[in-house]
Amino acid sequence: MQRPTMKLKDQLYVEYSKDQFAGIIVDPIAEPDLYTFVEDCKTNGARFYGYQEEQIEHFAKRIYELRKN
Protein backbone atom coordinates (compact mmCIF):
# COMPACT_ATOMS: atom_id res chain seq x y z
CA MET A 1 0.00 0.00 0.00
CA GLN A 2 1.34 3.40 -0.94
CA ARG A 3 1.19 6.33 1.40
CA PRO A 4 -0.75 9.37 0.20
CA THR A 5 1.37 12.33 -0.73
CA MET A 6 1.58 15.00 1.92
CA LYS A 7 -0.02 17.55 -0.39
CA LEU A 8 -3.21 15.49 -0.69
CA LYS A 9 -3.35 14.80 3.02
CA ASP A 10 -2.76 18.47 3.75
CA GLN A 11 -5.61 19.42 1.43
CA LEU A 12 -7.92 17.00 3.22
CA TYR A 13 -6.88 18.33 6.63
CA VAL A 14 -7.63 21.87 5.47
CA GLU A 15 -11.04 20.82 4.18
CA TYR A 16 -11.72 18.87 7.39
CA SER A 17 -10.68 21.79 9.59
CA LYS A 18 -13.34 24.05 8.04
CA ASP A 19 -16.25 22.22 9.70
CA GLN A 20 -15.19 18.61 10.29
CA PHE A 21 -17.00 17.76 7.01
CA ALA A 22 -20.35 18.75 8.55
CA GLY A 23 -21.13 20.72 5.40
CA ILE A 24 -20.32 17.82 3.07
CA ILE A 25 -23.34 15.86 1.87
CA VAL A 26 -22.57 12.69 -0.06
CA ASP A 27 -25.08 10.36 -1.68
CA PRO A 28 -24.39 6.93 -0.15
CA ILE A 29 -25.84 5.17 -3.21
CA ALA A 30 -23.92 7.12 -5.86
CA GLU A 31 -20.60 7.32 -3.97
CA PRO A 32 -20.50 4.70 -1.21
CA ASP A 33 -16.71 4.88 -0.66
CA LEU A 34 -16.71 8.66 -0.33
CA TYR A 35 -19.79 8.52 1.91
CA THR A 36 -18.09 6.00 4.21
CA PHE A 37 -14.91 8.09 4.30
CA VAL A 38 -16.74 11.33 5.14
CA GLU A 39 -18.98 9.72 7.76
CA ASP A 40 -15.99 8.00 9.36
CA CYS A 41 -14.19 11.34 9.56
CA LYS A 42 -17.27 12.99 11.07
CA THR A 43 -17.47 10.27 13.72
CA ASN A 44 -13.82 9.46 14.42
CA GLY A 45 -11.91 12.54 13.31
CA ALA A 46 -9.46 13.13 10.51
CA ARG A 47 -7.88 9.76 9.82
CA PHE A 48 -6.54 9.53 6.32
CA TYR A 49 -4.26 6.51 6.64
CA GLY A 50 -5.23 3.09 5.41
CA TYR A 51 -6.38 4.38 2.04
CA GLN A 52 -4.58 4.02 -1.25
CA GLU A 53 -3.15 7.16 -2.83
CA GLU A 54 -5.70 6.99 -5.64
CA GLN A 55 -8.55 6.91 -3.10
CA ILE A 56 -7.16 9.89 -1.19
CA GLU A 57 -6.75 11.79 -4.44
CA HIS A 58 -10.35 11.02 -5.44
CA PHE A 59 -11.72 11.94 -1.99
CA ALA A 60 -9.80 15.24 -1.91
CA LYS A 61 -10.98 16.15 -5.41
CA ARG A 62 -14.63 15.28 -4.71
CA ILE A 63 -14.71 17.06 -1.35
CA TYR A 64 -13.28 20.16 -2.99
CA GLU A 65 -15.91 19.94 -5.75
CA LEU A 66 -18.71 19.45 -3.23
CA ARG A 67 -17.57 22.52 -1.31
CA LYS A 68 -17.57 24.63 -4.49
CA ASN A 69 -21.19 23.73 -5.24
What is the spatial distance between Cα 34 and Cα 38, in angstroms, rounded to a whole number?
Answer: 6
Q: Name which of 41, 50, 44 is nearest 13 in CA terms.
A: 41
Q: How many domains does the chain have?
A: 1
Q: Domain residues for 30? A: 6-68
Tens of pLDDT along 9-52? 888 888 899 999 998 999 999 999 999 999 999 999 988 888 88
Instruction: Let me know if residue 46 belongs to a domain.
Output: yes
- CA distance readout (Å), 60 to 27, 29, 44: 16, 19, 18
Look at residue 45 and tell me if it is in a domain.
Answer: yes
In a domain, 57, yes or no: yes
Distance CA 64, CA 67 (A): 5
Whole-model pTM over 0.95: no
Residue 41 covered by a domain: yes
Residue 1 maps to a domain: no
